């Protein structure tokens, strides 16, 4: 039973970390342009340095 | 990734952000072309494309204005339109709120499940009690945070003495949480925290899908009345001019309208003659000649020479505002439409609530004691909570709208899909709807060099014919020639120098009925005629509509003869010379006769009809107002999306009915178990997730519906 005192807080912390990561990603605009991100992989960046 | 932010923090002087919608971007190449092309422009610090929203955010110095950037995008080969700061912020906020609630519910659900599984596998005594306490500590904040969208909507409905889907949901969740708390406090055997939180999670998934769908499609649609002139130069008594905002204008003032300026008020031309573009008002793109005494309307674009216009009507009295008012009234009937989920809830909620009450009374009579009876009544509420029902409608509609977007049709929301499925008659406008709306030139007579000279000249002009010519040439993959000293003399044409010769696009001599322009290179000359042709697949789309049992017809403000010609070509009935009020009257008459008409139109004059029809679709080239009024917008030159929309909408409703039917069947099996007092939290959890998965799986079949 003593393992539970470690395992449950760990499980909760990991869940909370995932939740925090999701909130950060949303605030940072990671979900703003999902289709665009998929397409940007195909853009060559060699010719100039303008690409962000 | 953070180019915009980095540059903002650097010392770059005064910079402003502008946003443009660019509906034409389709691939990775377009993203690169726009971002590089704009980035090379003098004064542009950064350009960032949002591909999902078909938008470009440009950070630039004040030296550039929206027109310059739109022009630059046009040179890159993309039609663009400036948009206001962020009109979607409000909708966006709602979606974000729902997503946050969904994430929190998901977090709670997973952790509570972890604890519940151990309880179900036989944890007893102190461990079970501790796990119930932990579950309660997670569930309470989660229910309070994630349940808000449902609680507030249910409270709103109850305040107006109505009931909607959120009332049974809220009651179920609150009672389940309350009972579980009591169980935890008294060291009882069963706690339903997992059921309550899982219910919230699945229902929020449905809501978030619904809201994402609305945002995605609205992103492409512009802002109301953005094209109407915002201000005007008014001639003072002493002959000088002064700028007045549109709302400060008064009848009797004389305004000076420069070439390329939009009129801010209705009026009569006092001096000057030339042509105006009335596309905003009528959808007709052919320039209209005006001279002294002609009546002109707000929103029209002055194409040629400076006009002096005596104002007859301002702001709220203009023709444009009158149409907006008609639309407002016509749209009232549509807001009374009750969506299928709420129609189902009207039957469902009372049935569920009385069933739970009966269970309680029944077990009390059977002598089970108030505690046991209450537990069973709540189990009935949880098991019947419309989990599958809450997903049944949005899941199907989101998949269908995603399939339609790929085929070039943006449906604004779920209610639009429901109404599209019910239509039994279709009315089409002519210009811009059945036809392309932009005059297309006949360029077959031109050789390669002439074509590239024509493109170089035409892309430097604002005249609608020049725009049509440039579009036609670009479509034939012509690249512009190196023409220097290009200048536009309004009313006469564009001239320039190319390889030592004078080249020009000018008004043809003689004129005549046809719309035409004349290209001159040195001594040589070609006359290019323009026609407004039918959309390439109009006939097929009409046939498909007929196949769906929908009889199409044309109603247009154009001349009888012109309308009859188009209708004859397609073999459908036609009404010409119809004013906005006539269209509205016809729709009202059809509705009284019990028909559910679909209106497809583009001009501002179609606005009231679009708002009044049972469902409506506008092309992407339509005036802002029409796009705002329509339920769906189709993009591109093909008319087929209109017919497809009906087919997919009907298929969607079929799936939605299957889903609701499934939810009912599931209840028929689950409710007796609950009534018999056999439902434990484990059975509730399994039943809930199984039914939701089946509903989502069934809805995914729609992904292929638009093929």
Encode pLDDT of B180-193 as tens digits: 898 899 887 778 88
pLDDT band at B361 (very low <50, low <70, confident <90, very high): very high
pLDDT band at B334 (very low <50, low <70, confident <90, very high): low
Size of interface A-B (CB pairs under 8 A): 66
Please tell me the distance from the alpha carbon of residue B541 to that of residue B640, in angstroms, as a whole number. 5
Query: Is A36 domain-assigned?
Result: no
pLDDT at B100: 92
pLDDT at B223: 35
Hey, what are B221's tokens? 């649609």
- A15-39 pLDDT, tens per residue? 999 999 999 998 888 877 777 888 8
Please tell me the distance from the alpha carbon of residue B437 to that of residue B533, in angstroms, as a whole number. 8
For domain B440-531, say whether CATH 2.60.20.30 is its number. no
**Which residues of B are marked as active site?**
429
Q: What percent of chain B has pLDDT over 70?
A: 85
Q: Does A19 touch chain B (CB under 8 A)?
A: yes
Instruction: Return the higher-pLDDT residue of B706 and B43.
Output: B43
pLDDT band at A49 (very low <50, low <70, confident <90, very high): very low
Q: Which of B568, B543, B544, B540 is nearest to B554 (CA)?
A: B568
Q: Are B553 and B559 in contact (CB under 8 A)?
A: no
pLDDT at B581: 80
Topology of the domain covering B408-436+535-649: Rossmann fold (3.40.50)
Hey, what are B164's tokens? 């909607």
Q: Does A16 touch chain B (CB under 8 A)?
A: yes
Task: Give residue A21's domain range.
Answer: 2-29
- Residue B421 phi, psi (nearest 5): -70, -20
pLDDT band at B7 (very low <50, low <70, confident <90, very high): very low
Query: Is A22 domain-assigned?
Result: yes
Q: Return the CATH number of B3-83, one of 1.10.10.60, 3.30.70.100, 3.40.710.10, 3.30.70.330.
A: 3.30.70.100
Nearest to B111 among A12, A34, A41 (CB): A12
- B241-290 pLDDT, tens per residue? 777 776 677 888 888 887 667 777 888 888 887 778 776 666 565 677 78
ipTM: 0.81
Please give the average per-residue pLDDT across B584-607, as a whole number.
86
Hey, what are B178's tokens? 């309350």
Res B633 pLDDT > 80: yes
Q: Which residues contact B523 (CB under 8 A, 6 or more apart)?
A: none
Q: Return the CATH number of B231-318, one of 2.70.150.10, 3.40.190.10, 2.40.160.10, 1.10.287.3510.
A: 2.70.150.10
Nearest to A52 among B48, B100, B107 (CB): B48
Distance from CA of A50 to the nearest CA of B (A): 7
Contacts of A26 in chain B (CB under 8 A): 96, 99-100
Query: Is A12 domain-assigned?
Result: yes
Please tell me the distance from the alpha carbon of residue B566 to that of residue B584, in angstroms, as a whole number. 22
Q: Which of B635, B172, B150, B696 is nearest to B396 (CA)?
A: B696
Contacts of B48 in chain A (CB under 8 A): 52
Please tell me the distance from the alpha carbon of residue B363 to that of residue B375, in angstroms, as a whole number. 10
> Which residues of B lie closer than 8 Å to A, measured between beta carbons?
1-4, 27-29, 31-32, 35-36, 39-40, 46, 48-53, 96, 99-100, 103-104, 107, 110-111, 114-115, 127, 134, 138
Please tell me the distance from the alpha carbon of residue B190 to that of residue B132, in angstroms, as a whole number. 9
Nearest to A15 among B31, B111, B127 (CB): B111
Hey, what are B290's tokens? 């005006």
Q: Does A28 touch chain B (CB under 8 A)?
A: no
Contacts of B40 in chain A (CB under 8 A): 50
Mean pLDDT of chain B: 79
- B369-396 pLDDT, tens per residue? 888 888 888 778 777 766 667 778 888 8
Q: Please judge whether A35 and B35 are an interchain contact, meaning their C-beta atoms are less than 8 angstroms apart.
A: no
Mean pLDDT of chain A: 80
**Residue spans per domain, chain B:** 3-83, 89-219, 231-318, 408-436+535-649, 440-531
Domain count for chain A, please give it. 1
CB atoms within 10 A of CB B166: 25
Q: What is the dihedral of CA B408, B412, B413, B417, to 10 degrees?
A: -50
Query: Is A49 domain-assigned?
Result: no
Checking B178-187 for CB contacts under 8 A at 24+ apart, the result is B179/B374, B179/B375, B179/B378, B180/B132, B180/B135, B180/B136, B180/B139, B181/B136, B181/B140, B183/B132, B184/B129, B184/B132, B184/B133, B184/B135, B184/B136, B187/B129
Secondary structure (DSSP) of A1-52: -HHHHHHHHHHHHHHHHHHHHHHHHHHTTTTTTHHHHHHHTT----S-S---
Please tell me the distance from the alpha carbon of residue B36 to that of residue B15, in angstroms, as a whole number. 19
Res A50 pLDDT > 60: no
Q: Which of B5, B30, B32, B59 to mutate to test the interface with A (most CBs of A within 10 A)?
A: B32
Q: Please judge whether A36 and B107 are an interchain contact, meaning their C-beta atoms are less than 8 angstroms apart.
A: no
Unique residue bearing structure tokens 């306490």: B133
Please give the average per-residue pLDDT across B404-411, as a whole number.
81
């Amino acid at each position: 039973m003593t393992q539970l005192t470690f395992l449950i807080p760990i499980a909760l912390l990991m869940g909370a970390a995932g939740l925090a990561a999701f909130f950060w990603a949303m605030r940072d605009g990671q979900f703003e342009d999902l289709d665009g991100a998929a397409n940007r992989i195909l853009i060559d960046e060699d010719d100039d340095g303008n690409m962000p | 990734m953070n180019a915009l932010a980095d540059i903002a923090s650097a010392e770059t002087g005064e910079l402003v952000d502008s946003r443009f919608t660019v509906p034409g971007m389709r691939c990775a190449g377009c993203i690169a072309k726009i971002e590089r092309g704009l980035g090379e422009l003098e004064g542009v610090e950064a350009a960032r494309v949002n591909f999902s929203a078909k938008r470009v955010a440009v950070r630039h110095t004040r030296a550039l204005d929206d027109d310059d950037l739109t022009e630059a995008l046009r040179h890159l080969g993309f039609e663009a339109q400036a948009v206001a700061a962020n009109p979607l912020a409000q909708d966006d906020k709602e979606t974000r709120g729902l997503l946050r609630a969904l994430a929190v519910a998901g977090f709670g659900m997973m952790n509570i499940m972890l604890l519940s599984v151990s309880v179900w596998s036989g944890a007893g005594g102190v461990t079970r009690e501790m796990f119930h306490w932990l579950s309660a500590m997670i569930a309470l904040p989660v229910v309070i945070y994630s349940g808000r969208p449902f609680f507030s909507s249910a409270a709103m409905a109850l305040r107006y003495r109505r009931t909607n889907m959120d009332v049974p949901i809220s009651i179920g969740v609150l009672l389940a949480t309350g009972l579980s708390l009591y169980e935890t406090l008294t060291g009882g055997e069963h706690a339903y925290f997992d059921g309550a939180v899982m219910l919230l999670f699945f229902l929020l998934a449905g809501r978030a899908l619904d809201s994402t769908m609305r945002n995605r499609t609205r992103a492409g649609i512009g802002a109301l009345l953005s094209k109407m002139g915002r201000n005007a130069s008014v001639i003072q008594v002493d002959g000088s001019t002064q700028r007045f905002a549109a709302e400060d204008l008064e009848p009797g003032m004389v305004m000076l309208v420069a070439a390329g300026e939009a009129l801010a008020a209705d009026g009569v031309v006092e001096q000057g003659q030339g042509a105006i573009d009335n596309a905003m008002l009528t959808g007709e793109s052919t320039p209209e000649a005006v001279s002294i005494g002609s009546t002109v309307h707000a929103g029209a674009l002055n194409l040629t020479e400076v006009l002096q216009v005596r104002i007859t009507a301002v702001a709220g009295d203009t023709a444009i505002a009158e149409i907006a008012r008609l639309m407002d009234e016509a749209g009232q009937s549509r807001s009374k439409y009750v969506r299928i989920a709420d129609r189902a809830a009207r039957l469902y909620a009372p049935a569920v609530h009385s069933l739970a009450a009966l269970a309680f009374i029944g077990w009390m009579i059977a002598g089970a004691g108030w505690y046991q009876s209450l537990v069973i009544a709540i189990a009935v509420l949880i098991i019947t909570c419309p989990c599958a029902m809450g997903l049944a409608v949005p899941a199907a509609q989101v998949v269908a709208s995603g399939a339609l977007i790929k085929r070039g049709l943006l449906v604004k929301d779920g209610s639009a899909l429901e109404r599209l499925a019910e239509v039994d008659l279709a009315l089409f406008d002519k210009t811009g709807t059945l036809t392309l709306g932009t005059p297309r030139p006949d360029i077959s007579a031109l050789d390669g060099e002439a074509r590239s000279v024509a493109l170089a000249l035409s892309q430097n002009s604002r005249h609608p014919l020049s725009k049509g010519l440039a579009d036609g040439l670009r479509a034939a993959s012509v690249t512009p020639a190196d023409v220097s000293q290009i200048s536009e003399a309004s009313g006469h044409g564009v001239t320039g120098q190319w390889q030592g010769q004078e080249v020009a696009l000018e008004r043809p001599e003689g004129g005549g009925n046809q719309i035409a322009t004349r290209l001159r290179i040195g001594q040589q000359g070609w006359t290019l005629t323009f026609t407004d042709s039918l959309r390439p697949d109009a006939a097929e789309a009409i046939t498909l509509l007929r196949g769906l049992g929908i009889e199409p017809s044309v109603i247009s403000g154009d001349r009888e003869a012109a309308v009859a010609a188009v209708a004859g070509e397609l073999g459908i009935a036609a009404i010409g010379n119809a004013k906005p009020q006539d269209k509205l009257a016809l729709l009202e008459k059809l509705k009284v006769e019990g028909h559910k008409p679909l209106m497809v139109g583009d001009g501002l004059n179609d606005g009231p009809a679009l708002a009044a029809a049972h469902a409506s679709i506008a092309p992407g080239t339509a005036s802002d107002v029409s796009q705002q009024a329509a339920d769906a917008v189709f993009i591109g030159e093909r008319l087929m999306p209109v017919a497809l929309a009906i087919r997919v909408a009907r298929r969607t409703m079929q799936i939605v009915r299957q889903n609701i039917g499934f939810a009912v069947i599931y209840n028929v099996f689950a409710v007796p178990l609950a009534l018999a007092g056999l439902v434990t939290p484990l059975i509730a959890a399994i039943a809930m997730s199984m039914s939701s998965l089946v509903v989502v799986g069934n809805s995914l079949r729609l992904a292929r519906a638009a093929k």
